[in-house]
Copies of this chain bind each other. A is one copy, B any other.
Amino acid sequence: MNLDKLKHQESGNFFLMAGPCAIEGEEIALRIAERIVSITDKLQIPYIFKGSFKKANRSRIDSFTGIGDEKALRILEKVGKEFDVPTVTDIHESTDAEMAAAYVDVLQIPAFLCRQTDLLVAAARTGKFVNVKKGQFLSAGSMKFAVDKIKESGNENVILTDRGNTFGYQDLIVDFRGIPEMREFNVPVVMDCTHSLQQPNQSSGVTGGKPALIETIAKAAIAVGTDGLFIETHPDPKNAKSDGANMLHLDLLEDLMTKLVKVRKAII
């Protein structure tokens, strides 16, 4: 990818977008970043720090939504500078695009919003990389139209991320046939290994998850040629402010990455 700050691209490894679900505070963001940078430097994995500056689509109105937009964005900026890594955050309305673009390197479009033309165009016009998550209701083939919306707005830097398909009410299933199909659009394709394990529509209003299977999804993704992985990770998932049910414990990341680098080497 033509993203200057992204190191280790010559290694031939997949790249990693990882971090906590939400930016909960400066200290913890820096701590998570430091740990991941240390692992990815050691394994020569290109790394982008991920954190949401607000959570706008929680099931319940009483869910945590954030610590304040600008406060969170400044933390993202600080992480980027401190560790010299690119950063990514997700936006939800057109007005977010320019604001977030002042602080991060990659703007991410949530899956539910991947058909919102205004949002895609606003993101594209910032000139930043745009990472569009595939709607759970969309085929891989249909993501071509999302790519086109961004490219026709004058921005060639598109990334597509798969996070599974709606399968009945309580499951998502990743259709790995979609990875080679989306790679044909000549954009990097990422597997979101944590959200694709969500279990939606739980009666509690809190989405469930199956973090023990992150390794399964990640290995399959790397084996089929996925360019990057998206993994939410936290040093204490149970007490995380959002998505605790499916984040990877940060202590497990190095072992997982080590295994995945081996699989990557076997296919290139």
Write the residues of chain A forming the contact surface with B, with a CB cutoff of 8 angstroms: 56-61, 65, 92-95, 112-113, 115-118, 121, 135-139, 141-142, 144-145, 148-149, 152-153, 165-171, 173-177, 179-180, 197, 200-201, 203, 205, 210, 213, 216-217, 219-224, 259, 262-263, 265-267
Q: Is the Cβ of A137 less than 8 Å from the Cβ of B136?
A: yes
Out of B142, B216, B263, name the residue touching A179 (CB < 8 Å): B216
Q: Is the Cβ of B170 less than 8 Å from the Cβ of A170?
A: yes
User: With A and B bound together, what is the CA distance between A266 and B174 in angstroms?
Assistant: 22
Out of B113, B175, B203, B216, name the residue touching A177 (CB < 8 Å): B216
What chain B residues lie within 8 Å of A222 (beta carbons)? Answer: 223
Taking CB as reference atom, which chain B residue is nearest A95?
Answer: B95
What chain B residues lie within 8 Å of A118 (beta carbons)? Answer: 56, 92-93
**In angstroms, how far is the closest chain B Cβ from the Cβ of A22?**
14
Taking CB as reference atom, which chain B residue is nearest A149?
Answer: B61
- 12 sample A-B contacts, Cβ–Cβ < 8 Å, listed by A number: A57-B116, A60-B148, A60-B149, A61-B153, A112-B112, A145-B205, A169-B171, A176-B220, A177-B197, A180-B216, A220-B224, A263-B266
Taking CB as reference atom, which chain B residue is nearest A176?
Answer: B220
User: With A and B bound together, what is the CA distance between A138 and B59 in angstroms?
Assistant: 10
